[in-house]
Amino acid sequence: MAVKKIIGIETEYGITSRGKFATNPVSASSYLVNCYGREMFEKNTQWDFTDEQPGNDARGFLAETTLVPLIETQLINVVLQNGARFYVDHAHPEYSSPECGSPLEATLYDAVGELVLNNAMAKAKETLGTLDEIIVYKNNSDGKGNSYGCHENYLMDRHIPFGKIVDEVVGFLVTRQIFCGAGKLGCETANNDVRFQISQRADFFEEIVGLETTTKRPIVNTRDEPHSNHEKYRRLHLILGDANMSQMATFLKLGSTALVLSMIEEDSLLNGKIRVSNPVAEIKQISYDISLKHLIELEDNNKFTALDLQYVYLEAAQEFVMRGGGEFVGGDEIAKNILELWENTLDKLTKDPMSAHDTIDWVAKYRIIEAYREKHDLEWDSKTLSAIDLQYHDVRKEKSLSRMANLEKLFSENEIKNAEKEPPHSTRAYFRGKVLSRWPSNIVSANWDSIVFDLGEKSLKKVPMLDPMKGTFELVSNLIDESKTVVELLDKLES
């Protein structure tokens, strides 16, 4: 049985510094997070790591050669008033959106991440010397073989066998890049013939299934850490996506994936009929062909383009929504918007890929680079073109080339600004964000599924929030508003 798709999206931002942090991205990232956190709270609310188990494998075993992901507890972490988490992961600042009740809401909170990073940079600028500067980029590769991720999380029914999810989702995941790829100059494997490719991340995938995220990256990650009721839910952790500058591309990525996963749960997705022969090779070959003509070989020896396969998934999703499947992705209206955007985008890409420049990042970027190259008569390996590629992902308003590319928007600047302080109403993130805004000095730490309160008693009080669909605006806003103190609120919740 499908469950409502609670969605989160987390982005590791690329970071570069001038001056005192030039050689230390960890310090630069910490400085940014701290600047933002200090602005928000006198005392940062700490992240509570005690329940985290990133080494759990959804397949129920741990391969002997597997490197269990490390949790870096000593680094800076801030819980935000909108329920998000802003922290330092590896050598990057990372923003994890709050849990969202629909792909549309998750797209909004992904855009809020850019605002948070912008505000953090502005704050850092105020306090740093004139020679020091920290700048972040929302991309996934430095063009020199190093990659960092944009991960998606989808709540799923624990009863669906993990092997079934993998079997049915891989064909969708390797082909969806034609609309959610962010585009990249050149290639970071040994393939020197590639001038421009669709995806930032495709070069870095080596396995179909696995637990790792920093080496031997898998198309389907097996981290089994639901941050909720372990017997009821799984949190599918997808690490292969690109970070998108286009809100429409983010919405389509999250929306189409949420529909496909719901169909798998409901046994409505072609029962694994689309089985790609060599997904790891195909994810790269699809990325390398911007004409979208590459033929993908299936296990039954048939060959199709990525567009052909996406039309098959789209048609299955259209039937699914007609039968009421929209309820799992935030309702019929949102489902219809996803389907319409999906179909329009595939039609544009079929007719002339360049006509999707107003919504699809790789197309918008390619169009700029190709026009600039032609105008200035540049070679494909020109560093100016690489600078354009990089600066497409600059999140500063005045420097961002993606902003200049006139991409269609889903949200106004005001909506994004409001969501910086207001949590989603549809999930437990509402409770987390609101109690944090109201009683910051009573909260010692928080994580996805619990909050630790200091109520002035001898011991601290940990309040579990295992169900992501509890603690919503509908369920707790009146209680929060009516309570004068946090003690009163917790008493009311208990009774």
The binder of other proteins chosen from 159, 303, 323, 336 (CB under 8 A): 303
The binder of other proteins chosen from 405, 446, 451, 489 (CB under 8 A): 405
Is 467 an active-site residue? no
The two structure tokens encoding residue 162: 């993990």
Residue 239 CB, shortest distance to other proteins, in Å, is 7
- Residue 442 · residue 454 · CB < 8 Å: yes
Question: For 100-161, where are the alpha helices, taking DSSP H only?
Answer: 103-127
State the amino acid at position 70 in one-letter form. Answer: L
The binder of other proteins chosen from 7, 15, 259, 334 (CB under 8 A): 15
Report the sign of the C-alpha dihedral through residues 195, 199, 200, 204, in that order. negative
- Please compute, for residue 491, the number of CA atoms within 13 A of its CA located in the half-sphere on the CB side: 8
Residue 371 sits in the site that holds other proteins (CB under 8 A): yes
Residue 75 sits in the site that holds other proteins (CB under 8 A): no
Q: Which of 48, 57, 89, 110 is catalytic?
A: 89
State the amino acid at position 344 in one-letter form. Answer: N
State the amino acid at position 347 in one-letter form. Answer: D
The binder of other proteins chosen from 20, 38, 59, 90 (CB under 8 A): 90
Specify the stretch interacting with other proteins by CB under 8 A; choose among 108-116, 251-259, 295-303, 333-341.
295-303
- Nearest CB to other proteins, comparing residues 133 and 467: 133
Residue 365 sits in the site that holds other proteins (CB under 8 A): no
φ and ψ at 46, to 5 degrees?
Answer: -80, 155
The two structure tokens encoding residue 63: 């391969």
Residue 207 sits in the site that holds other proteins (CB under 8 A): no
Specify the stretch interacting with other proteins by CB under 8 A; choose among 78-86, 139-147, 159-167, 446-454.
139-147
Angle between helices 332-351 and 247-265 (to 10 degrees): 110
Q: Is 156 helix (H, G, I), strand (E, B) or coil?
A: strand
Residue 353 sits in the site that holds other proteins (CB under 8 A): no
φ and ψ at 318, to 5 degrees?
Answer: -60, -45
- Nearest CB to other proteins, comparing residues 46 and 350: 350
Question: What gap in Å lies between CA 15 and CA 194, rounded to an integer?
Answer: 26
Residue 55 sits in the site that holds other proteins (CB under 8 A): no
Residue 304 CB, shortest distance to other proteins, in Å, is 6
Residue 99 sits in the site that holds other proteins (CB under 8 A): no
Residue owning tokens 């600066």: 391
Question: What gap in Å lies between CA 119 and CA 131, rounded to an integer?
Answer: 19
Residue 302 sits in the site that holds other proteins (CB under 8 A): yes
Q: Is 362 helix (H, G, I), strand (E, B) or coil?
A: helix
Question: What gap in Å lies between CA 455 and CA 148, rounded to an integer?
Answer: 40
The binder of other proteins chosen from 143, 164, 455, 466 (CB under 8 A): 143
Which residues are identified as catalytic? Answer: 89
- Residues of this chain that bind other proteins (CB under 8 A): 12, 14-16, 25, 69, 89-92, 137, 141-144, 146-149, 151, 213-214, 239, 295, 302-304, 308, 311-312, 315, 343, 347, 350-351, 367-368, 371-372, 375, 383-384, 386-388, 390-391, 398-399, 401, 404-406
